[in-house]
Amino acid sequence: MKALRNIFGNIWVLFGLAAYGMSFAILWRNKSFSPEDALVELVLFGLAFPLLAWVTTLRTRSLTLTVQRSAGEMWLLVACLIGVTLYLVWGAALSEALVPATWLASERGKFFVVFARKLIVFVAIPFVLFRAVFGYRWRDFGLQFAGLRALAENHLPVVLVLSAAILVFQFFLGGGAAPIRRGEFNASQLAIGLPFCFAWLFIEAGLVEEFFFRALLQTRLAAWFRSEVTGVALMALLFGLAHAPGFILRHAGLEEAIGANPSPADSVAYAIVVLSVGGIFFGVVWARTKNLFAVMIIHAATDLLPNFAQFAKAFNI
């Protein structure tokens, strides 16, 4: 009961719930929007998987990170968040204009270009800035040998249970795994491709997104407000909103979701209803472990089946 009071008595959680309700109401009139899919997303990634993450981490010990609670850090964090938002809006077009056309001539080339720019924007630049200004090291962001030791001990069951749960859900219910369910890949392709794809996603999605949104953003928000619950709530909200400008300016509304040319209101609402909810699960895992290796593995498992078909095509698997 105390845990529930800490969550639902938190002003930022209540604010997030209100924002979700308003966003859902805005999207309700959009004919391309599927309320059923959004509710499934809410139940699974907003409630079921976060609850499973909390239960599996009851006996775990989180790593110890150094965080300086200062206004200077928060201002630098805001600057980094603005930079990431600008990247999400114009990053693709800018990189395509700057790199040789031959690099983008193949799907494999595009994979590496996207990977490079994400690594620079989400990891390299923020780390260099926080290292230069505040003296942080990699271990202060959860990348430490203690994290590897924890994976061999009390963090391993968490990673295995959550990864297995996500994979089972994606395989049986996820639309991205449909080509695998239909048998479009033989046993050899799966045996070779799945481990390769997982290794790629461990860095391309796991390190990139978990470093910025959990190790950097969520950790400092939690320290500033002295509340892990607030850190998760605000991180999830900002994670979703950072993508909204891209939906508006690039007309990237995900045609199957809210149409090819969404309005600003629909774009912001969709970012909150879908993307913000998706950030809660990883936020809970991070808050309970502070182990970047652990959340990187779980993130890679989450993205594995939905991204495998495209990955296999790009690398001729």
Return d(Cα 274, Cα 281) in angstroms, integer. 12
Return d(Cα 160, Cα 157) in angstroms, integer. 5
Q: Which residues contact 216 (CB under 8 A, 6 or more apart)?
A: 77, 80, 126, 130, 141
Q: Token pair for residue 58? A: 């009851």
pTM score of the predicted model: 0.90
Among 143, 163, 283, which residue's Cα sits nearest to residue 213?
283
- Residue 207 CB burial class (10 angstroms; 0-12, 13-18, ≥19): buried
Residue with tokens 């008595």, as numbered in its chain: 9
Return d(Cα 288, Cα 78) in angstroms, integer. 24
Q: Cβ of 137: how many Cβ atoms within 10 Å?
A: 12
Distances (CA, A) of 264 to 89, 225, 268: 13, 30, 6
Residue with tokens 């470093």, as numbered in its chain: 211
Q: Token pair for residue 91? A: 């990053």
Residue with tokens 């928000």, as numbered in its chain: 221
- Tens of pLDDT along the chain (317 residues)? 666 677 777 899 999 999 999 999 999 888 878 888 889 889 988 899 999 999 999 888 899 898 888 999 999 999 998 998 888 777 777 777 777 777 777 778 888 888 888 999 999 999 999 999 999 999 999 998 888 898 888 899 899 999 999 999 888 887 778 888 888 888 888 999 999 999 999 999 899 999 999 999 999 999 999 999 999 999 999 888 887 776 766 555 554 567 667 778 888 888 899 889 888 999 999 999 999 999 999 999 999 998 898 888 888 88
Contact 158, 285 (CB under 8 A): yes
